[in-house]
Structure 1
Amino acid sequence: MTVEEIREELEQKADEEYRNFHSKLLPGTENILGVRIPELRKIAKRMVKDDWRFYLNEAPDKYYEEDMLRGFIIGYADMTLEERMRVIADFLPSIQNWAVCDSFCSTLKFTKKYQAQMWNFIKPYFQSESVYEIRFAAAMALDYYRLPEYAQEVFVFFDHVKNKDYYVQMAIAWAVSVYYIYLPEITEDYIRHNALDDFTHNKAIQKICESYRVDKETKARLRTLKRKQKQ
């Protein structure tokens, strides 16, 4: 199939009601067709059975869904670790919103097989100037490295992120809250001694307290660790 044929298929699968709903979650993203994620995953899984590299090489990006589709292809296609790292690095600068970033990361399940190699690949992105490259690193840490042997190093990287963009701060807060579910003792110690900015610190606690997997007593204790923010 050509890029144009795939674009036509996406246009045919567009759902206006879903587009209106999804657009509200992605303020500033104007090129949403409204194709649901399961449909995009089906298309990507079909494409990787044939020649998929042309789609990455031509980098179609008229629609938000085309960005999403390229990310899914990178996760599903059969390739060496070295090639996958290369195409990930090529793809990251094109990410323009949290939804593409987070859906992309959740699709890179091969990371579980190459955990050490991928961690070395991910770490430099914590120091990036790009909002969504930092968010990529945080989301990958959340998805694949919530383990005792990685947690302390992950937290050091979180502490050194000084980018105050909302989507960076929320990614780190979200990640800390998930770490708390899996590693409560280690993560609570981090919450007590971290170097996060006040907004991210407080958001992490808020998100933990919103979880049904945390008991009332624990939530009450964690709320006492919130910081007063300067007005």
Structure 2
Amino acid sequence: MNNSIKEQLIQMADQDYKKFASALIPNIDNMLGVRLPKLRKLAQQLAKQDWRSYLAKADNEYFEEVMLQGMVIGYLKADIEEVLEAAADFVPKINNWSVCDSFCAGLKMTKANKEHVWEFLLPYFASDQEYDLRFGIVMLLNYYIEADYIERVLRLIDEVDHKGYYVKMAAAWALSICYIKLPEPTMHYLQSSKLDDFTYNKALQKIIESLQIDKETKQLIRSMKRKQSS
């Protein structure tokens, strides 16, 4: 099965799309150039077949082969424990923001299993690996920015201490969504956070860039910017 999947992906490759997508993911040099809708269609088919054998033997030579595995996990109709086991096996394969964020967006079973998945995510926040942490943060911003979880979300993000660019950018992105959805607790948090200057200022920038924030609020947020030491 897996050799035929590789062949299918090679046949689906689009050189123009490869040039475009490669420029967005600077640390990747193994991309074929398969458009995401085609990958999703293939993933849906695989999720209905013998997906256990597929995931156990899946190759990681190409970017799309890894992306496809993440998508298949998102489409699984299986017990939550089995899905999370597959997710745990997959996370160490993540080495770029695109696979990470696509994988997180696909794990929609989280919505029906909030507390269960929350417990699953916690160990990732104790990791020193850049994409373990990004995975955890992007899962928070996709599924947990709501009143029942906001305090826990903000506390987890505040405890992240990692120099990785893609961790900092994920944290800033998540905090901007927190502010847009729940401005009061997020503002209170921002005024007393332990965030490094880069992440803090990037979060403010993303809030200011939002079309959902009014001019007066944007002025207030601008005034909160920290002067970064050179």
Same fold (TM over 0.5): yes
Q: Distance in 2 between matches of 1:80 and 1:148?
A: 27
1:80 corresponds in structure 2 to 79
Q: Distance in 2 between matches of 1:47 and 1:90?
A: 17
Cα RMSD, aligned residues only: 0.8
Q: Distance in 2 between matches of 1:228 and 1:53?
A: 52
Conservation of the 8 A alpha-carbon contact between 2:2 and 2:58? no
- The answer for unaligned runs of 5 or more in structure 1 is none
2:7 corresponds in structure 1 to 8
What do the CA deviations read for 1:183-230 (whole angstroms, capped 9, x no partner)? Answer: 111111111111111100000000011111111110110011111111
Q: Which runs of 4+ in 1 moved over 2 A?
A: none
1:52 aligns to 2:90 (yes or no): no
Q: Distance in 2 between matches of 1:41 and 1:192?
A: 41
What do the CA deviations read for 1:160-197 (whole angstroms, capped 9, x no partner)? Answer: 11101100000000000011111111111111111111
Comparing 161-170 with 49-58, greater Cα deviation is found at 49-58
Conservation of the 8 A alpha-carbon contact between 2:15 and 2:33? yes
Code of the aligned partner of 2:229:
K
SS of corresponding position for 2:191: helix
1:208 aligns to 2:207 (yes or no): yes
Conservation of the 8 A alpha-carbon contact between 2:40 and 2:71? yes
Code of the aligned partner of 2:160:
V
Conservation of the 8 A alpha-carbon contact between 2:27 and 2:96? no
- The answer for unaligned runs of 5 or more in structure 2 is none
1:119 corresponds in structure 2 to 118
When normalised by structure 1's length, the TM-score is: 0.98
Q: Distance in 1 between matches of 2:27 and 2:109?
A: 32
SS of corresponding position for 1:39: helix
When normalised by structure 2's length, the TM-score is: 0.98
Deviation at 1:59, TM superposition (A): 2.9
Comparing 184-193 with 36-45, greater Cα deviation is found at 184-193
1:160 corresponds in structure 2 to 159
1:178 corresponds in structure 2 to 177
Q: Distance in 2 between matches of 1:78 and 1:60?
A: 22
1:147 corresponds in structure 2 to 146
What do the CA deviations read for 1:116-139 (whole angstroms, capped 9, x no partner)? Answer: 110011111111111111001000
Code of the aligned partner of 2:186:
T
Q: Distance in 2 between matches of 1:214 and 1:17?
A: 36
Q: Distance in 1 between matches of 2:182 and 2:37?
A: 31
Q: Distance in 2 between matches of 1:67 and 1:117?
A: 25
Q: Distance in 2 between matches of 1:205 and 1:91?
A: 32
Q: Distance in 2 between matches of 1:28 and 1:97?
A: 7
Q: Distance in 2 between matches of 1:54 and 1:31?
A: 24
1:90 aligns to 2:89 (yes or no): yes
2:24 corresponds in structure 1 to 25
2:61 corresponds in structure 1 to 62
Q: Distance in 1 between matches of 2:157 and 2:202?
A: 14
